Chains A and B, each alone.
Chain A
Amino acid sequence: MAKKEKASAKAAVSTEDVSKVRYKSISTVHGENYKTLLTEKYKNRKKWEEPNFKKIVSAIPGTVIKIHAEEGQEVKEGDLMMILEAMKMQNKMYFPMDGFVKKIYVTEEQKVPKGHLMIELK
């Protein structure tokens, strides 16, 4: 791991430096602000976003084996969308709702991580 990260972690727990450290402010319950140090984990936390169900993302990391749809095609809920091989299984994925295929973001044989945008409906 990078030296920089090492240094920051040490800074967060070193006793001697307490008076010299530059504190950040953290807002906690009911908007009270406290002077304190922030952890890397806190700084890297994910902001919540409204889920968009028209954007279909991979539920599991795997490989796209076959795509059963084309851009512009009209699809019905329950139509076969693609085969995603993951964890030694060829998983059939179905369209979650009626609509038109706006854009396909993946190609066959592409490896996708979890949460990867694969197909967008309109």
Chain B
Amino acid sequence: MSLKRKILELQKKREQVLQGGGEKAVEKQVAMGKMTARERIITLLDENSFHEYDMFIEHEARDFGMATKVLHGDGVIIGTGTIFGAPICIYAQDFTVAGGSLGLMHARKITKIMDHAMKMRVPIIGINDSGGARIQEGVNSLAGYGEIFYRNTTASGVIPQISVILGPCAGGAVYSPALTDFVFVVDKISKMFITGPEVIKTVLGEEISMEALGGARVHSEITGNAHFFAESEIECFDQIKKLITYIPWNNSKKAQKYEVKEPKVDQYKIDEIVPGNPKEPYDVRDVVRAITDDSDFFEIQQLWAANMVIGFGRMDGQTVGFVCNQPLVLAGVLDCDSSDKAARFIRYCDAFNIPIVTLVDLPGYLPGADQEHAGVIRHGAKILYAYSEATVPKITVILRKAYGGGYIAMNSRHLNADFVFAWPGAEIAVMGPEGAANIIFRKEIMGADDPDKVRKQKVKEYKEKFANPYVAAAKGYVDSVIEPEETRKLLLHAIEGSQNKVDNKPYKKHGIPPF
């Protein structure tokens, strides 16, 4: 055979693999409103940057009549490419091939590309669209899942790991995304659950749809398993591309620097956003936009635990992680979910060399038997742990209220913040003026002829004396009381001056965070 013929033969073989599960299966995929695995990769990555490996892998199953079946690529595509020039390792499960079911060789391909990403210290993106374990391959497919989870854990905090759920992802399969840094879901397409509707019906007799049980919206709003919600696959890929611009390739690098653009100060007037009355709500994201480059803020987990706002912005062209109480929702209280949300993000920023800016305005922890019984002590402790442990630059701006345990938790000086700034309207106290006055002046109020009048007077007294930033500033707990207008300038200065920060912690294998 001449080389030319051999080349033709290769082309023919490639062609066959590129058909995936065949025309009918592809039609089905399209009918479900989904792209095929290959289309997804090509849409997500830079044009012509994708190179595929292990195209000609053959599956290992010999039982149940599987030996004669041809499964192109064994239901998964792996390869390398770039996003905005950043090197990326990627895999995408191909639902058109045996429902994207995971067998031994399928898993081998995934672990191979994961190992490659770890060796090259580049981000890995996994696109999940799979019916689950390939039952015909028995324990081999369970082994495959375990080997993926092990690598997810090893890679955690070393290279960015992104999971995209574009189809069903059920049973054990959900744990790979759960172990990764960011999970992307798409409305009506993504489905994640441990036990599906059928099992629930058999065991409980309850009927629930896949969508209501573990659809994109459920995981974006109720469980917090997903970080980004999109209406379409295209929107989802745009979100991933945007995320890639904010994060470094690995934990020994910093995120790429971008051109500095001033915030849109006409649109976001920083001294007009926060109302003077601490009981009035406002959107803290406007404060973020008033200080970030180009007023850009890339929010994470927008729909879940909205009383805490987390996300990325840039200052001086450099990525900054924002952690902010949101007075607009649930008065910005700390509770189980918002603590989990913030703590995990703080640890992400710390692992990937991203400075953290914390904007504080909260009344404290949410009271209630439901919160206490849900373990708000152990959940709330996560924030304290995450801030205390973090060694990246940590800067706090107290915008307004900072009461009680919430004040301590939100990156206070006492948890080793590098800079703590406070606006003149800040109230740093053990509790709000009314509660405090009621306790301190209980006797005077109860014994008075007109308790309400005395109460009001005492509240006013307390407010004047303690509801300000100067008591904390007098002790050095606040480094500087600043005008809102000065915030960006000071943050830029603080971040610039923190580039060579050294914060050596004692050696340990690892801590025991209140997981």
- Residues of chain A touching chain B, judged by Cβ–Cβ distance below 8 Å, are 1, 5-6, 9, 12-13, 15, 18, 23, 26, 28-42, 45-48, 61-63, 86, 111-113
Contacts and interface: CB of A to CB of B under 8 A. Distances in A.
A110 to B, nearest CB: 9
25 contacts: A1-B211, A9-B217, A12-B329, A13-B302, A18-B281, A18-B283, A26-B330, A28-B366, A29-B363, A29-B404, A31-B434, A32-B431, A35-B331, A36-B329, A37-B328, A39-B306, A39-B330, A40-B221, A41-B222, A46-B370, A47-B370, A48-B369, A61-B203, A86-B203, A111-B203
B367 A39 contact: no
Interface string B316-349: 0000000000011111110001000000000000
B211 A35 contact: no
B281 A37 contact: yes
A31 B215 contact: no
A41 B363 CA distance: 19
Interface of B: 203-206, 211-212, 215, 217-218, 221-222, 278-283, 285-286, 302-303, 305-307, 327-333, 337, 363-370, 373, 403-404, 431-432, 434-436, 438-439
Contact of B212 (A1, A36, A40, A62): A1
A11 to B, nearest CB: 10
Contact of B281 (A5, A36, A39, A112): A36
A81 to B, nearest CB: 21
A74 to B, nearest CB: 32
Contacts of B278: 34
A61 B279 CA distance: 44
B370 A45 contact: yes
Contact of B431 (A30, A38, A61): A30
Given A1-B212, A1-B217, A111-B205, A15 B283 contact: yes
Contact of B279 (A35, A45, A47): A35
Given A12-B329, A30-B435, A111-B205, 19 more contacts: A1-B211, A1-B215, A1-B218, A6-B217, A12-B306, A13-B306, A18-B281, A30-B436, A34-B331, A34-B363, A36-B281, A36-B330, A37-B329, A39-B305, A46-B370, A47-B370, A111-B203, A111-B204, A112-B204
Nearest to A86: B203
B331 A41 contact: no
A38 B279 contact: no
Contacts of A86: 203
A36 B212 CA distance: 28
A61 B303 CA distance: 30
A18 B303 CA distance: 16
A32 B432 contact: yes
A6 to B, nearest CB: 7
Contacts of A30: 431-432, 434-436, 438-439
A40 to B, nearest CB: 7
